[in-house]
Structures are given as structure tokens and as C-alpha cells.
Structure 1
Amino acid sequence: MENNFKMIAKTFFGFEEILAKELTQLGAQEVEQGVRMVSFVGDKGFMYKANLALRTALKILKPIYSFRANNDQALYKGVASINWSRYINANQTFVIDATVHSQNFNHTEFVSQKCKDAIVDQFRERTGQRPSIDKAFPDLRINIHIDRDQVSVALDTSGNSLHQRGYRTATNLAPINEVLAAGVLLLSGWDGQTDFLDPMCGSGTFLAEAAMIACNIPANINRKEFAFEKWKDWDNDLFDKITDSLLGKIREFHHTIKGYDKAPSAVSKAKDNIKNANLEEYITIKEDNFFETEKNSEGKLHIVFNPPYDERLDIHMEEFYKNIGDTLKKNYPGTNAWFITGNLEALKYVGLKPSRKIKLFNASIESRLVKYEMYEGSKRTKFQEVQE
């Protein structure tokens, strides 16, 4: 269709495949995986839908122009060749986010300044006025990406990172990023068809994301705003139509989602966040020490959690991770247990053989998402049952 255009969804390393699957299921066209990104094609309504519904996207960019530049003059000229009055007025504000991988340009700040000059000078020459820079609440957020001599200019449709869902107002030390949590859940195969437990729930991020996946609730339905709401072609009626369509696809959930944490402050914060997300009917949170609990439901149980791994904490990591393995083995039969950790050394002390191990990054920390299959009885007995 002639109203379609290319977009780029940014994501974390290791999430490219699940993001591509999300986009395909949502109805995107020409979906192609890259490194920490997936490109796709859709119209304005789909741009709204992608921002509202994608769980593993950090940003949705709309490319508008690309060119080659080996020096600052060529960079200035390329950015100045774009008709910026299509996107912003002289009395509005903008900001530039630059990413640079090039020997020709050494500093992102310099690139941002040069691109800003090109835009401001264009308006000043044409109108005698100029738009201002506003880093906090700009009317237009522009993304400049330079790879060697290739410059890509895009409009940031999202604004603040899409991990800022809008429901988490209270956090503990080092809370897991919401997009990272959603990606971990999807990688674990969580689909809402069993009971769910986060035994070290902290501020409740896994619980909230698990409930939204189970019920097909749009990931960013609680978000206050998106960058495209300030654009010249903002269509409020279309946005409302897209939102209503997504809300109409929410499904019922017939299992339990539970969270434990031994810290009363964490339990309180988690309950506040779940209330903010309007998910209280699906989630139960209580104060408890995972190492003193046991499986209290029949059938399969899906466990996902983010145990502490920072040596600065007052925790003996070797003993702590050994207790994780012991508790799973003794008290949680019939369970698929997944957790993510950045302490690769402590992982050796779990004492269980993972059936899967996936490399991810938690911020800049290289981490592993591991899966432990806890059988009813021994693994040998389970294998014999399958053979029979």
C-alpha cells in the first residue's frame, strides 16, 4: 500500500527472533532481523499498534533519509537537504540522539551539534525564526545513526524507551528492565497455560509482564505518552481505534500467578506496581523465603526469576546459588524453572544441569538465562515413562 513505510524496532541482543515473531503476529510486513533490531513495513496505524503492543521493542524508529558523509561538511549538507518543515514548526522544539560507529566522526556530541545547526539554519534562512532544543520534552526526537560513512536519519516514534511501561513507580535495588523481563518470559515459553511463580519477585516486574502476556494485554497500555502524539500528522481518532481493537483481544486467564519475596519492603512495592498496572485480579504476592517454600499446586508450574548476583550484597553467593538448586530439586517437582543471572561463577554452584542456557545482556552485564527441568521422581524414571 502506498501509505506504508519502513520502520525499525530496536531491541536487546538475543531478542531479535522473538521480536520478529511478535511483529509478524501483529501483522507487520517485510519483517527482517538485524543485530539488536528488526526492520518491518506498515502504515501509521501499525506504527501506533507497534508502540502499544510490542513487548520486546525498546524503540520504534521511522527512517526518513540516508546519505553518505565522510566529514562534517557532508554531514551538515545531508541533514540540511531534508525539508524539516514537514515535521516541525519554527516555534517548536526538538532534540537529536546520535549513535556513531565511524572513524570519520569521533564524538556523538559533535555529530548532534552539527545536525542541530543544519536544522536550525534551515529554519532561520526560510522564516527568520528557529526551533529550540528541549532535551526533556521535545516536540520532535530525531535519531542520527552513522555506520562508517553511511548516515541514517530517523524520527523516534516512541520517545522515552518503551521499557518505561508506566506501571512501575516503586523499585528495589537493580530492578530488571521491563523489556528484558518480557523477553525472558517469551524465551522461556511462557504462554499463560500453567500456573506461574516468581519466588524472588522484587518490585513485581516479572509478575506484571507474565500477566499481560497471559491475558494478551498490550504491553504499553499504561504508558502516558508516545513521541508521535506531538507530530504534525497525529491522528487521535485512529490511535483510539487501534487501542480499542487491541483491548478487544484481551483473553481470560484460568491459572494462578504468584510472587514471593522475603523483604517486606519489596512485597509492598510489588503490590503497588501491580495495582498501578490494574492486574490485581490475576496476581497474588506474599512475604516468604523461597528456600522455605514448596510447590503447593498440582500439575505443571512455570517458574521465572531474577536472583541476586551482585557480590556487594550481603549474600554468600556460592551458598545462595546452592540453595536455589537444592530447593528446586527437593521442593518443586513437575516444574520448569528459569532464571537469569550475571554471576556466571555462582551459577556453577546450583548443582543441577541446565537443559538450556541462553546468552543475554542485563544492561552491559553478560548474563545467562538458564532452564532447569524438575521432574516428578527422577529423570531416569521420566525417561522410562516416555519410552513405554
Structure 2
Amino acid sequence: MSQSFKMIAKTLFGLEEVLEKELRQLGATHIEKGVRMVSFEGDLGFMYKANMMLRTAIRILVPIHSFRARNEVDLYDGIYQMDWSKYLTAHDTLAVHGTVASQYFNHSQYVALKTKDAIVDQIRNNTGRRPDVDTKHPDLRVSVHINDQKVDVSIDSSGEPLFKRGYRQETNIAPINEVLAAGLILLSDWDQRSQFIDPMCGSGTIAIEAAMIAANIAPNLNRPEFGFEKWPNYDNALFEMIQESCLKKMREFEGPIIARDADGYTLEKAKENVKNANLQDFIKLEKGDFFRDHQSAQAFLMFNPPYDERIEIDTDAFYKSIGDTLKQRYTGSTAWMITGNLEALKSVGLRPSRKIKVYNGKLEARFVKYEMYRGTKKLHKLVDGDSK
């Protein structure tokens, strides 16, 4: 498997272009962008590197077979006819995940069940023993995707989703997904060298991801395990070489990155997560109230305020206060904010210079940019125009 082969990197809606750019920078070939995914080609070492270094990938799948099916018999037969001895033995454990967009199949769990049945039946018929199912820590994860009649079977090289970096042990009520946090930073116009402030840091995820980007630290460098480590073709020497290569790519960063929160208990959680990520030298944690602090000009802000989904607040008043505070206390700053409360966003009272549609979990959200000019925006443009 030293030659190149096709892989699929899954991601969140709205982050496809960011992931495509990441793959191009890593050296992938035959890159094709889709919806919530990007396909590409690389060798075994590149698969290890992609799992370790991609910030906006949720998992890396390796397609192994495709066929057509219109009913459960077709599905079972198609799976059974594959040679599963190449991927697992009777002593290994198995988990199957199914996704369906088809008029012929209605339930993804049923598709996963029939797939599992075909795999274990084949191995039992060949060896006299069947593999056990382990949904949490299996030796092999199989992904089955059905689009109309087309069945695509892949094996999951990542294991646990790649947003589980390993550093976040403590969370607040509504933490942001690590992949989404990294994607938002890469979508923004932050130069990755200057000061970065999260004034509502919660459990610290945005600040941690920003620090790893600024210092070029592989996001999954400290991850305890990948799915491919249990595969028959796993090359530990190659994997360790890739790890060493990732370590050499780290760079200095003066920033600083500042994570603030008004709640002391929440800030303690963030401190623990920063420590778990070994980023104490890169992130400065401060107790501070966004609505009362003054910020010097030219600050770059990014934050994830409450949506009123899991935290009960008066959203209209809260979001109005965000807008008022940005105008009054953060003149000269650039502020990026993500929210899943599209109605409350109107209460900010500021016109965003950019607005990007993303999803936070299943919740449709907007990632918006506010430029807090000194004086009027019209005057600012005139001054910029004269200076050019």
C-alpha cells in the first residue's frame, strides 16, 4: 500500500474550501471538493500525516469497494462478496456506520446492521468464529454510504473523530467543536502572527486552536490513538517518522493569544485544557468582562457568544450589548463572531463586512465580521484611499 490511493476527508458544511486548501498545502494530489467532504490521493505516509495535521477534517476514510443495490438482499450480497480477511480476523472487533440518501433504503442503522451481518457471516463461515462488535474501540471501523442505488464501502483510518484532539477534558455548557473552531480561524483574515483575543473564551477551544495554528502544531499530535494503528498494514516506523516530521514544523509565535472570561470557574476549565494541550507558553488566560473592558486599537477578536440553545439569556438584550460594547470600547478593532441565533444577530445593530454560513452541530449559524473603524466607515475609506 506504498503507492497512492484514494481517500475522503469528511468535514463540516462551510469548511470544504478550507480543507481543500489544507490538503493542497500538505501535498495531496487529485483533490476534488464535495459537500462536507474533499477527496484526494496520497500514500500510506500521507494518510498518517493527514490524520495528524489536518485541522478541519473530522475523519479520513479509505474507499475499498463500490457496487449497486436496490434492496437488503443486494446490499448483503455485495458486502458478503468482498474479501474481509484483508481487513480483520475472527479475533478482531468491528463497528459499522451507515449513511443513506436513497429511495431504496430508509434507515441508516438498518444498513449498518445488514453490513455487519454480511461481514461477520463471511468470517464465521470461513473460520468457524465470528468477530465481536465494539462500537467504542473497535479494531476496524467500516463506513457504508448509499446514494440512491450506489453503495460505497470505506474503512475509517481515524477511529474516534478527529475533533477529539485529546486536550479538552473540561468543558462549559456549550463548547464549540474543535474542527469548527479551527475552521473559523482559517476562514478569518487573522494573519496568524499578531495578537488574538477571545473575550468569551469558555473552555478555551478557540484560543487553543488559534495557538496551534500560530505555532504550526499538528492538532492531533497528542492524540492517544488512530484507527489505522490497528490495521494489518500499520507501519509503526513510518508513523513515528511522520510524528517527528510534524514536530520539526513547529515555529515560534510572539502573539500573544489572550483568552478571557468573566466567570472564574469557567476560566479554571480553560486553564486545565490549555495545560492538557501544553500551550501555557502561547496562551495568556485572564479574568475579564467583555462588556466592561477597554481594548486597545487594532485588536483581533474572535468569540462564540451564547445562542440561547443551552444557555438561557435574554438574547435580544445580550446581542444589543455586544454591538454597543464593540462600538464604545473596541474602536479600531476587528471582531469575528459565530452565532446560531440568526434573529438575535439582528439586535447587534452593526452591519457585518462579511457573513459566512456554517453549521455548529445541526444548528445553522453565521460567522460574521465587524470592523470597528474610528469615525465613520465612509471617512475610513477616504483615508485609506488617500494613503494608497
TM-score, with structure 2 as normaliser: 0.97
Secondary structure of 1:291's counterpart equals coil
Q: Which residue of 1 aligns with 2:223?
A: 223
Partner letter of residue 19 of structure 2?
A: L
Secondary structure of 1:55's counterpart equals coil
1:123 and 2:126 correspond? no
What's the offset of the Cα at 1:222?
1.8
The CA deviation string for residues 121-140 of structure 1, in whole angstroms up to 9 with x for no partner, is 21122111221111111100
Partner letter of residue 371 of structure 1?
A: K
1:351 and 2:336 correspond? no
Q: Which residue of 2 aligns with 1:373?
A: 371
Partner letter of residue 143 of structure 1?
A: S
Distance 1:306 1:226 in 2: 29
Aligned length: 386
C-alpha contact 1:306 1:340 (8 A) present in aligned 2: yes
Secondary structure of 2:104's counterpart equals coil
Partner letter of residue 38 of structure 2?
A: V
1:97 and 2:97 correspond? yes
Secondary structure of 1:290's counterpart equals coil
C-alpha contact 2:174 2:311 (8 A) present in aligned 1: no
Alignment of 1:181-196 (within 5 A): 181-196=181-196
C-alpha contact 1:191 1:213 (8 A) present in aligned 2: no
The CA deviation string for residues 145-195 of structure 1, in whole angstroms up to 9 with x for no partner, is 011100000000001111100000000001000001011111112332211
Q: Which residue of 1 aligns with 2:303?
A: 305
Q: Which residue of 1 aligns with 2:56?
A: 56
The CA deviation string for residues 325-359 of structure 1, in whole angstroms up to 9 with x for no partner, is 11111221222100000111111111111000111
Q: Which residue of 1 aligns with 2:329?
A: 331
Secondary structure of 2:279's counterpart equals coil
Partner letter of residue 241 of structure 1?
A: M
C-alpha contact 1:311 1:317 (8 A) present in aligned 2: no
The CA deviation string for residues 34-86 of structure 1, in whole angstroms up to 9 with x for no partner, is 00000000001000000000000001000000000111111111111111111
Distance 1:2 1:163 in 2: 27
The CA deviation string for residues 274-331 of structure 1, in whole angstroms up to 9 with x for no partner, is 00000000111111110001114x6x32111000111664422112111111111122
Partner letter of residue 320 of structure 2?
A: K
Partner letter of residue 333 of structure 1?
A: T
Q: Which residue of 2 aligns with 1:364?
A: 362
RMSD across aligned C-alpha pairs, in angstroms?
1.3
Q: Which residue of 1 aligns with 2:339?
A: 341
Partner letter of residue 299 of structure 2?
A: L
C-alpha contact 2:174 2:310 (8 A) present in aligned 1: no
Q: Which residue of 2 aligns with 1:234?
A: 234
Change (3 A) 1:45 1:384: same
Change (3 A) 1:151 1:374: same
Alignment of 1:246-325 (within 5 A): 246-296=246-296, 300-310=298-308, 313-325=311-323
Secondary structure of 1:49's counterpart equals helix
Distance 1:378 1:222 in 2: 47
Q: Which 10-residue stretch deviates more, 40-49 or 1-10?
A: 1-10
What's the offset of the Cα at 1:229?
0.6
The CA deviation string for residues 348-376 of structure 1, in whole angstroms up to 9 with x for no partner, is 11111100011111111111100001123
Distance 1:195 1:312 in 2: 30
Alignment of 1:35-114 (within 5 A): 35-114=35-114
What's the offset of the Cα at 1:380?
2.8
Change (3 A) 1:387 1:108: closer
Partner letter of residue 100 of structure 2?
A: V
TM-score, with structure 1 as normaliser: 0.97
What's the offset of the Cα at 1:387?
2.0
Question: Structure 1, unaligned stretches of length 5 or more?
Answer: none
Partner letter of residue 181 of structure 1?
A: A
Partner letter of residue 160 of structure 2?
A: N
Secondary structure of 1:345's counterpart equals helix
C-alpha contact 1:16 1:34 (8 A) present in aligned 2: yes
Partner letter of residue 226 of structure 2?
A: F
Partner letter of residue 44 of structure 2?
A: K
C-alpha contact 2:97 2:109 (8 A) present in aligned 1: no
Change (3 A) 1:111 1:301: same
Secondary structure of 2:285's counterpart equals strand
What's the offset of the Cα at 1:200?
0.3
